[in-house]
Chain A
Amino acid sequence: MPILQHFCETLYHSGFGTMLRESNNAFSVIESVHVLSITLLIGTIAVLDFRMLGLILRSIAVSSVARSVMPLTWSGFAVSVMSGFLLFWAEAEKMYVNPSFRAKLVLLALAGINALVFHRTIYRRAQEWERQHVSPWRARATAFASLMLWSGVIIAGRAIAYF
Chain B
Amino acid sequence: MGLHGSFMALAHSPLGHAMQTSRWAFAVVEMVHLLGLAVLGGSVLIVDLRLLGVILKGESAITISRELSRLLIGSLLVMVLSGIALLSEEAGKCYYSPAFRWKMALLAAAVIFYFTLHRQAILCTRRGTLKLWPRIAALVSLLLWLGVGVAGRAIGLL
Are A and B close enough to touch in the complex, i.e. CB under 8 Å?
yes
Given contacts A38-B34, A158-B27, A158-B31, contact A56 B41 (CB under 8 A): no
Does A44 contact B46, Cβ atoms closer than 8 Å?
yes
Residue of B nearest to A32 (CB): B153
Given contacts A32-B157, A39-B40, A60-B63, 12 further A-B contacts (CB under 8 A): A39-B37, A39-B42, A42-B38, A43-B41, A44-B45, A47-B68, A55-B71, A56-B71, A60-B64, A64-B59, A154-B35, A159-B27
Whether A46 and B45, one on each chain, are in contact in the complex, defined by CB atoms closer than 8 angstroms, is no
A96 to B58, CA, bound (A): 47
- Indicate if A10 sits at the interface (CB-CB under 8 A): no
- Asked if A35 and B153 make an inter-chain contact with CB atoms under 8 angstroms apart, the answer reads yes
Q: How far is the CB of A79 from chain B (nearest CB, A)?
A: 13
Residues from 112 to 151 in A contacting B, C-beta threshold 8 Å: 150-151
Q: Hey, which chain A residues are within 8 Å of B41, CB to CB?
A: 36, 38-40, 43
**Which chain A residues (25-82) contact chain B, with CB distance < 8 Å?**
28, 31-32, 35-36, 38-40, 42-47, 50, 55-60, 64-65, 68-69, 72
Which residues from 3 to 34 on chain A have a C-beta closer than 8 Å to any C-beta of chain B?
28, 31-32
The yes or no answer to B49 lying at the interface (CB within 8 A) is yes
What string of 1s and 0s marks CB contacts (under 8 Å) between B50-93 and chain A?
A: 00000110110001100110110000000000000000000000
- With contacts A36-B149, A158-B34 taken as known, whether A43 is within 8 angstroms of B67 at the C-beta atoms is no
In the complex, how many residues of chain A place their beta carbon closer than 8 angstroms to a beta carbon of chain B?
33
- Determine if B39 is an interface residue (Cβ-Cβ < 8 Å): yes
Contacts of B55 in A (CB 8 A): 68-69, 72
| Number of interface residues, chain B, beta carbon within 8 A | 31
- Would you call A60 and B27 a contact (CB within 8 A)? no
Task: Give the 6 A-B CB pairs with smallest separation, nearest first.
Answer: A43-B42, A39-B41, A68-B55, A43-B41, A32-B153, A42-B38
Which residue in chain A gives the minimum CB-CB distance to B50?
Answer: A68
Q: Is B56 touching A65 in the complex (CB atoms < 8 A)? A: yes
CB–CB B46/A69 < 8 A: yes
Q: Once the chains are docked, how many angstroms separate the CA of A35 from the CA of B149?
A: 9
Determine how close the nearest CB of chain B comes to the CB of A24; give it in whole angstroms: 11
Other-chain residue from B42, B150, B153 in contact with A42 (beta carbon distance below 8 A): B42
Question: Which residue of chain B lies nearest to A25 when distances are taken between CB atoms in the complex?
Answer: B157
* A/B interface sample: 25 pairs, CB < 8 A: A36-B41, A36-B149, A38-B34, A38-B38, A39-B37, A39-B42, A39-B44, A40-B45, A42-B38, A42-B42, A43-B40, A44-B42, A44-B46, A46-B38, A46-B42, A50-B71, A56-B68, A57-B63, A57-B68, A58-B67, A60-B59, A64-B58, A155-B31, A158-B34, A159-B27
A32 lies within 8 A of B150 (CB): yes
A39 touches B153 (CB 8 A): no
A28, B59: Cβ atoms closer than 8 Å: no
Q: Which chain A residues border B150 with CB–CB below 8 Å?
A: 32, 36
Residues of A within 8 A of B64 (CB): 57, 60
